[in-house]
Amino acid sequence: MYENLDLMRTSAALARHAGAQQAVVAGNIANADTPGFRARSLPAFAAELARAAPLRQTRPGHVSIGPSGSATAVQTNAEPSPDGNSVSIEREMLASVEAQREHSRALSIWRHTMSVIRTSLGR
């Protein structure tokens, strides 16, 4: 029953994305001293969500679709060190914190949705 609610599916997808981002960050940090290793990153969840399920405009003025409303993932290429490694520990720490925040946000949405459902059922 709960899997059919769009909000529940979206929050679950956000939690999965946060876990995948944390795994990518862990791999980058593990290879911080590997010569020639190029840091990896995932696109932002908003960009992935927009690509997977684009917004539909059902009537004029309903949804602003265009360059101002589109989500883009900014990817910066780091300057590699002399051995060719492009991992920046500081950037990876920030990405790890952002993944943790994303996961906490997903759990908060999930909990709130469950409390609304319970309230509506009178429990």
Residue with tokens 């529940």: 8
Cα distances (angstroms) measured from residue 50 to each of 44, 59, 79, 95, 120: 10, 19, 30, 21, 30
The predicted model scores a pTM of 0.72
Residue with tokens 């990405």: 95
Find, among 45, 121, 22, 33, the residue nearest to 81 by Cα. 33
Helix, strand, coil percentages, rounded to 5, for the chain: 55, 0, 45
Instruction: Quote the pLDDT of residue 97.
Output: 96
Q: Return averaged pLDDT per consecutive 10 residues of the chain, 123 residues in all.
A: 74 92 93 89 82 66 45 50 87 94 94 89 82
Instruction: Quote the pLDDT of residue 55.
Output: 58
Identify how many contiguous H helices and E strands the chain contains and give both numbers.
Answer: 3, 0
Find, among 110, 109, 94, 111, the residue nearest to 21 by Cα. 94
Instruction: Quote the pLDDT of residue 74.
Output: 31
Domain residue extents for the chain: 2-121
